[in-house]
Amino acid sequence: MSLTAIWIDQSHAKIFNLSPEHLTTEKKLKHHEIRHHTHAIDQIEAQFHEHEFQKIILKLVADAEQILLLGPGLAKTHFQHFLDTRHPAIAKKVVACENMDHPTDPQIAAFAKKYLI
């Protein structure tokens, strides 16, 4: 069985496909930094951009057998909520949502390997 690991923060996402035999980095995405906004219009715009970023990630992982969400802050839990509320079939593929600061690609792969079934 394969695993797709997604490391995500407010400005980047790294998507890895792992199988017992190998690891490939599928995509590295950048997205504008979402700042803490004080104006309601700015907050709505930030939420729109975050939602668009989540939709791009969703397209890249829609066929995943298992999904592991990783990241340092709330972006991973926001993505989990996005899946839970809008894509429950894909949300069922999430095996864990774990905190992970800013690791190297090999550190992500080593961490994710323990979730391979």
Q: Exposed, middle or buried, 48 (CB in 10 Å: 0-12/13-18/19+)?
A: exposed
Q: Identity (one letter) of the amino acid at 35?
A: R
- Residue 84 belongs to domain with CATH number: 3.30.420.60
Residue 69 near residue 16, CB atoms below 8 Å: no
CB 16 within 8 Å of CB 58: no
Quickly state the pLDDT bin for 36 (edges 50, 70, 90).
very low
Q: What local confidence, expressed as pLDDT, does residue 43 receive?
A: 46
Q: Is 77 exposed, middle or buried (0-12, 13-18, 19+ CB in 10 A)?
A: middle
The stretch 55-66 carries a mean pLDDT of 88
> Is the per-residue pLDDT at 41 higher than 50?
no
- Asked if the model's pLDDT at residue 117 lies above 80, the reply is no
The domain in which residue 59 lies consists of 3-113
Would you say residue 97 has pLDDT above 90? yes
Six-digit token string for 37: 């906004």
Our count of domains for the chain comes to 1
